Structure 1
Amino acid sequence: MAKAAVKGTKGNSLTDAEVGVIKALIATGQHSNQEIAGLINRARGAPAKDISSGRISNIKNDQIKKYANIPAGGAADVAKFMAKAAPPALVDGGPLSPARLAKLMPPKPGGPGSLAITETDQVECKKSVNFVMKTIAAFANNKGGYFLFGVENGTFNVLGLPDDKFEKFDLNKLNQNIRDQLGIGLEIQLATHLIDGKTVGVAYIGPAHTKPVIFIHNADGATQGHIYYRYPGEDRLISPADLQRLIEQRLQQLSQTILSKHLANIMRFGIENAAVMNLASGEIDGKAGSFLIDEALLPQISFVKDGEFVERSGAPTLKLIGEVAPMAAPIVAVKEVLEGYPLTYTELFRRVRKATGAKQGAMDAVIKAEKMKANKAFAHYAFRNNADRVAYEKTGVAKKGAASNYNEAAVQFLVEKLGGPLII
């Protein structure tokens, strides 16, 4: 496959080869955005490298310029990718390996033609081939599971399948039904297993990559918006405790993904060159020192994701925008590290408002009337540059609009002046 200029190997960026495969899969019209994203994520093998289906949509609609000139992959490229992305089926240790199936369906001692099993949270027995969507969703929300077709429920007698319909089963149609009912793609694998000369059809349903799986339509005895979970021998609505656990796991996975991305960037930039920005206060803190966006500027600016507005997808960029009058001093300026004055103006106001309920204007009036910004008992100027600081030290007059940091004494003083309770 021809290579374009984009290499894309950092963080969650796509490589040229991945983009080519994505374009080839899109061209077939046989895969949803979610399914393609799932294949890419499975091939990558680490949650921290996951991409969302929004990235597939961006590529499909030519919304990412750097991917525009990358050609679709050829048949050999797609086959090589699918060999890596498709989950193992018949290899040793795979969910449908002969060793795994033999362990899953042990014969019943003294009872020829019967299995020594019971329906569990991972096994569902059916006389004939019948994929129940509620069970598929329930398996996907738990740890995955198996349909055993040709095995009678209750007695667990092996009846076998009467013909080869299971072996000719249209898996693409099942996948389409799953996408229609659940809105996602799932890992489905099929195999057959002989027991006493009788054929048992086995379908493995893998756990969903993103949980919970929710019905998006009323169908197959399920209700739109319901979440089903596999419990021993039954599919039923998920319990509050299990739902909370799934949500916590999803949040943890998201946190790990974001944290891994930031750690990778820190290592790439170098610890000495990295910093953390508080979008609420304008503070930027790093090993090299602390910085502050002028608090007078914060209300005039906003932060937006640059480039991708249709669907959420990986690695958005923040752009600083706003209508700001030209000024000689830089917008982002150095702030002295003042252990005795740890509170920004924003943090000061939050503390005072919580204690008194006072409006911002009332607090500002007290600060101005009492000249608190120039009183080191309460505050210290956080100059934007060294020239402003030198000028202040010579004249005793701070430049108009100079920001200040505050201490706990300032909080106590303002609360007292504004009629709030004394903070201890």
Structure 2
Amino acid sequence: MAKRTIQDSEIALIKAMLDRGMKNKDIQFYFNRPERSVNSGRISTIRTGAYSNSGKILAASAGELDSFIERFASQERNESSPIDDHDVRKFFRRERDSLWYLHRGESEECECKQDFDPKKLTPVVRAIAALANNKGGYVFFGVGNNQCRVDGAGPAFSQTDIVDIINKVKAHLAPTPSITAKGIVDFDGKAVGFLRVDRQTRKLLMRYAIQYHEDHSVGYDYVVGCVVRHRLRFSVPSDFRVGEISLFEELEGADDEYRAWLAQELKKIGQEKLLAK
């Protein structure tokens, strides 16, 4: 029998969260670790008592749950550290038109976003994954994608707790990348928000990418495309479909072994046509 990875105390907290009406995808934020994922299916088995001896474990009290959530939030905030403004300003330059620009444009260590929308974090998750899988770097908000000009970010970025951003990332990337700083730098009255992302030594995998994809703020097709681009093997469900991406294009540069593997998996479910040009 496989060793149980979720402790009694964690099961008690999960049960208390379920009693409070929290959704599986929100609960998993608190228990996913770089070395251990707790997916929606596992939480469901705790709900029913089917996971090990979870049926015999009592839910934590309301006070215990409140204390746990507060400690968790404090720990997440403490893991981020302040960055000297100079470390961010070095990427920007005032040009002859007296406006500020990301002077080298987007690069392996810099990603630009026009603004920040906490309800549409797909582009942010994508940028964080790209930086973490490479050398690490910054995601800047309030910088136009076209000319990389500083236009200024709205108030949503400053109003969003770094814990909320980290939790969203935890739900979709494994191992969880390290976001070490969140801040704002002022350029002549225009605010540029930033997230500092550390380099990840292990390639990131989109968590529960296919079978456990629940959060539609991150599109299903994007998740599939990300997995294929990183040449990661996954369990292909019988209802596997994509309509907004081309697997043929996503496989550009892939080796013959990976192509053959994916072709074989699609053949099993009668979807070989998805590889057509």
Shorter-chain-normalised TM-score: which range?
0.5 to 0.7
Task: Confirm or deny: 8 A CA contact 2:184 2:194 kept in the other structure.
Answer: yes
Task: Confirm or deny: 8 A CA contact 2:225 2:250 kept in the other structure.
Answer: yes
Q: Which residue of 1 aligns with 2:187?
A: 195
Q: Which residue of 2 aligns with 1:63?
A: 50
Task: Confirm or deny: 8 A CA contact 1:106 1:115 kept in the other structure.
Answer: no
SS class of match (1:114) = strand
Greater Rg by CA: 1
Counterpart code for 2:31: I
Q: Residues 38-77 of structure 1 correspond to what in structure 2 (within 5 A)?
A: 39-42=30-33, 47=35, 49-64=36-51, 66-67=53-54, 68-72=56-60, 73-77=64-68
Task: Confirm or deny: 8 A CA contact 2:114 2:145 kept in the other structure.
Answer: yes
Counterpart code for 1:156: C
Tell me, yes or no, if structure 1 residue 152 matches structure 2 residue 144.
yes
Task: Confirm or deny: 8 A CA contact 1:136 1:205 kept in the other structure.
Answer: no
Deviation of the 1:225 alpha carbon: 7.0
| Residues 78 and 128 of structure 1, relative CA distance in 2, 3 Å threshold | closer
Deviation of the 1:53 alpha carbon: 3.9
Q: Which residue of 2 aligns with 1:138?
A: 126
The structure, 1 or 2, with the larger RCO (C-alpha pairs under 8 Å, 6+ apart) is: 2
The structure 2 residue matched to 1:166, chosen from 149, 157, 161, is 157
Question: Under a length normalisation based on structure 1, what TM-score does the superposition of the two structures give?
Answer: 0.38
Q: CA RMSD in A?
A: 5.1
Task: Confirm or deny: 8 A CA contact 2:139 2:196 kept in the other structure.
Answer: yes
Deviation of the 1:18 alpha carbon: 1.7
Q: Deviations over 1:330-369 (max 9, x none)?
A: xxxxxxxxxxxxxxxxxxxxxxxxxxxxxxxxxxxxxxxx
Deviation of the 1:227 alpha carbon: 0.9
Q: Residues 8-407 of structure 1 correspond to what in structure 2 (within 5 A)?
A: 11-33=3-25, 36-37=27-28, 39-42=30-33, 47=35, 49-64=36-51, 66-67=53-54, 68-72=56-60, 73-84=64-75, 86=76, 90-91=80-81, 97-99=82-84, 102-108=86-92, 111=95, 113-121=100-108, 123-130=110-117, 135-136=123-124, 138-139=126-127, 141-144=129-132, 146-161=138-153, 163-169=154-160, 184-185=171-172, 191-203=183-195, 210-211=205-206, 213=209, 223=221, 226-228=224-226, 238-239=250-251, 241=253
SS class of match (1:71) = coil
Task: Confirm or deny: 8 A CA contact 1:141 1:228 kept in the other structure.
Answer: no
CA distance in 2, matches of 1:126, 1:17: 41
CA distance in 2, matches of 1:159, 1:51: 40
CA distance in 1, matches of 2:27, 2:215: 22
Counterpart code for 2:15: K
Q: Which residue of 2 aligns with 1:367?
A: none
Counterpart code for 1:155: Q
Counterpart code for 1:98: I
Task: Confirm or deny: 8 A CA contact 1:114 1:156 kept in the other structure.
Answer: yes
Question: Under a length normalisation based on structure 2, what TM-score does the superposition of the two structures give?
Answer: 0.53
Counterpart code for 1:25: M
Deviation of the 1:200 alpha carbon: 1.3
CA distance in 1, matches of 2:16, 2:256: 39
Q: In percent, how many aligned pairs have the same letter?
A: 19
Q: Deviations over 1:229-274 (max 9, x none)?
A: 899xxx9964455699999xxxxxxxxxxxxxxxxxxxxxxxxxxx
Q: Which residue of 2 aligns with 1:361?
A: none
Task: Confirm or deny: 8 A CA contact 1:122 1:139 kept in the other structure.
Answer: no
Structure 2: gaps spanning 5 or more residues: 231-244, 260-277
The aligned length equals 217
Task: Confirm or deny: 8 A CA contact 1:148 1:202 kept in the other structure.
Answer: yes
| Residues 87 and 246 of structure 1, relative CA distance in 2, 3 Å threshold | farther
CA distance in 2, matches of 1:220, 1:54: 19
Structure 1: gaps spanning 5 or more residues: 1-9, 92-96, 248-424
Deviation of the 1:192 alpha carbon: 2.7
CA distance in 1, matches of 2:254, 2:9: 39
Deviation of the 1:134 alpha carbon: 5.3
| Residues 245 and 122 of structure 1, relative CA distance in 2, 3 Å threshold | farther
CA distance in 2, matches of 1:227, 1:151: 26
